[in-house]
Amino acid sequence: MPNSDAIRELVSACVGQVGAPVTALRKITETHGHIEDEHVRIVADVFNLSLADVRGIVSFYSDFRTSPRGRKHIRICQAEACQSVGSRALTKEISAALGLALGETSDDLGVSLEAVYCLGLCASGPCAMVNERILVHATREELLP
């Protein structure tokens, strides 16, 4: 897990790029999984922004989370094209099996369930992602083997 110095280095490397604060937060999310208070302070410091500015950015974008996701991170598309081929029923089934609502993570951090709005595979729904793996024509069996 990267320490503060590593995070600062990551953030500093974004200086000068277009949209740098957003990019910096994305890189933190990619390497660390979620954004902690300490990271917010670093981003604010590096870009000379207020803590409120940075928290505002974090809360605005759905890719940025402030709590860890599960080791198995399930995302199921909730948008219309997937709705038309049963994503609501699939979500209900997975949600019931895991005992998690969309947006929740299990206490042991084993699994998290999240909504995603469109993966751009809309002729092959329902679509889902398990960590980085993309599933089309997704079924309960594939999501919860």
The region of 5-13, 66-74, 93-101, 133-141 touching another protein under the rule CB under 8 A is: 133-141
Identify the residue among 79, 93, 95, 104 touching another protein (CB under 8 A).
79
Residues 55-74 touching another protein, rule: CB under 8 A, are 56-57, 60-64
Q: Nearest 5°: phi and psi at 130?
A: -120, 115
Binding mask 12-51 for another protein (x = CB under 8 A): -----xxxxxxx-xx--------------------x----
C-beta closer to another protein: residue 18 or 96: 18
Taking alpha carbons only, the member of 67, 140, 144, 81 closest to residue 116 is 81
Residues 80-109 touching another protein, rule: CB under 8 A, are 80-85, 88
The region of 5-13, 66-74, 92-100, 128-136 touching another protein under the rule CB under 8 A is: 128-136
Identify the residue among 11, 28, 40, 119 touching another protein (CB under 8 A).
119
Q: Return the CA Rg of the chain.
A: 17
Identify the residue among 3, 120, 141, 145 touching another protein (CB under 8 A).
120
DSSP string, the chain: ---HHHHHHHHHTTTTSTTHHHHHHHHHHHHHSS--HHHHHHHHHHHT--HHHHHHHHHH-TT--SSPPPSEEEEEE-SHHHHTTTHHHHHHHHHHHHT--TT-B-TTSSEEEEEE---S-TTS-S-EEETTEEESS--HHHH--
Residues that bind another protein (CB under 8 A): 17-23, 25-26, 47, 53, 56-57, 60-64, 77, 79-85, 88, 116-125, 132, 134-136
